[in-house]
Chain A
Amino acid sequence: MHASTVRTLLVRGMLAGLIAGLFAFAVAYVGGEPSVDGSIAVEEAQAAQEAAHAGHGGEEAEEEEVVSRSAQSTFGLATGVLVYGVALGGVAALAFSFALGRVGRFSPRATAALTAAAAFTTVYLVPFLKYPATPPAVGNPDTIGKRTTLFFLMILLSVLLGVAAVILGRRLAPRLGNWNASLVAGFGFVLVTGVAFAVLPANDDAVKAGFPAKLLWEFRLASLGVQVVLWVVFAVVFGFLAQKALAARTAGAEPPARVEVPAAG
């Protein structure tokens, strides 16, 4: 019975991730694509200028297109965002299944919101603060391996630190009370994350010198907006679906006597 509950939550989490992905795609298309196009235009202008300087007559300015820009900015973008949404929706649903009834006296809906907030913070926000998203055509291709490794490492580290902070908070709660335990755990998370930021190498060559600051800012704001919308929609939709799934389970499957015991206390 528990296994089928977990499966139900997983399917609903992936569905919520898909719906959230559709909203995130809309934000990415409307808010993000202009700065992506702008960056590509900057790159092409620079390449043409360099070619003109070198006297090549612009022959190496044109790159062969494997996928057209119109496909990249619509179906390609949708594929990336939806796969991301469904995959992380599934992972978040399982994180929710672990957290439910273990992180405090929260309803399924509140637990879903907390899980989404934690996922947004550890999977996106913290790595973004150290290694912010970069628009196309601005990085040094020689360091893509190093930059990708550091980015994935930062996600892993931030998720592990987040889990450690939650466990620490629960351990301290009986002694310090919920509020102070959460403050201490949150402070510990920020402190260790700050140390990691200081120790890990910087990504200086992720953006070429002279790239327009306004364009970079617009791109990063759009990237942040995509993730905020993804996780807010996920929190709302999954919260609704999980609440319904678990209410049906408590109402239908468990003997009423067992349900009423905690209500008295």
Chain B
Amino acid sequence: MAEAAVSAAVSTPSAAVPAPLPVRAVLPWAFFVGLLALIALYFVGAEQGATSLFAGSDVHEWVHDGRHLLGFPCH
């Protein structure tokens, strides 16, 4: 019990500056999430405005206020 407390106290300063995560552990996630985020931002920021994947204006009208207030050009 006392031993655990001592080792916790000793490891606190080093835990404050953690070792880097290996790039190859981050890269696949970065690629996957980067792609999903781009698609999500495209639908919030540009679909049925500058370009359209779907016909009509439902997507544009639904996210309309968010598109303006988040800073995207809308119309």
Contact = CB atoms under 8 A, between A and B. Distances in A.
Chain B interface bracket (under 10, 10 to 19, 20 to 34, 35 or more): 35 or more
Nearest to B7: A256
Contacts of B68: 36, 133-136, 219, 223
Chain A: number of interface residues, binned into ranges: 35 or more
Interface in B22-36: 22-23, 25-26, 29-30, 33-34, 36
B70 A84 contact: yes
Contacts of B72: 133, 148, 151
A229 B13 CA distance: 31
Contacts, number: 197
Contact of A148 (B13, B25, B46, B69): B46
Interface stretch (A46-54, A93-101, A173-181, A186-194): A93-101
Interface string A1-42: 011011100100000000000000000100011001000000
A136 B73 CA distance: 9
Interface string B47-64: 001110000111001111
Nearest to A246: B18
A213 interface: no
Interface in A155-170: none
A256 B66 contact: no
10 contacts: A5-B25, A66-B57, A67-B58, A76-B64, A84-B40, A87-B36, A87-B37, A90-B37, A139-B74, A247-B15
